[in-house]
Amino acid sequence: MEHLLRLKEIARDFYFPIFFLFLKMSVRVFIVDDHPMVVAGLHSLLGGLKNIEVAGAVSTAFEAIPFLKKNKADVILLDINLPDISGIDLCKKIHKEFPAIKIIGISTFSERSYISRMIENGASGYLIKSASAEEIAEAIETVLEGKMYVSVSLEHVVKPLSVLPSESFPALTKREKEILQLISEGLTNNQIAEKLFISPLTVDSHRKNLLTKLNANNTASLIKIAVQNGLV
User: Using one digit for the tens of pLDDT, what is the confidence trace for 128-175?
Assistant: 888 888 889 989 999 998 888 887 555 544 444 443 444 456 778 888
pTM, 2 dp: 0.62
pLDDT over threshold 70, residue 229: yes
Strand ordering across the sheet containing 52-58: 52-58, 27-32, 75-79, 102-107, 125-128, 149-150
How many CB atoms are closer than 10 A to CB 94? 25
CATH fold for domain 2-163:
Rossmann fold (3.40.50)
What DSSP character marks residue 132? -
Taking only the tens place, the pLDDT of each residue in 38-68 is 999 999 989 888 889 999 999 999 999 999 9
Look at residue 103 and tell me whether its pLDDT is greater than 70: yes
Contact by Cβ (8 Å): 26, 53: yes
Residue 76 pLDDT exceeds 80: yes
Q: Is the pLDDT of residue 230 over 90?
A: no
Please tell me if the domain spanning 2-163 has the same topology as the one spanning 174-228.
no
Q: Where are the domains of the chain?
A: 2-163, 174-228
**What CATH architecture does domain 174-228 belong to?**
Orthogonal Bundle (1.10)
DSSP, collapsed to helix, strand or coil, labels residue 4 as helix
128 DSSP β-pair partners: 107
Give, rounded to a whole angstrom, the gap between the first and last alpha carbons of the chain.
Answer: 75
111-127 pLDDT, tens digit per residue, is: 777 788 888 889 999 99
Q: What is the pLDDT of residues 213-226, one digit of tens each?
A: 888 888 888 887 88
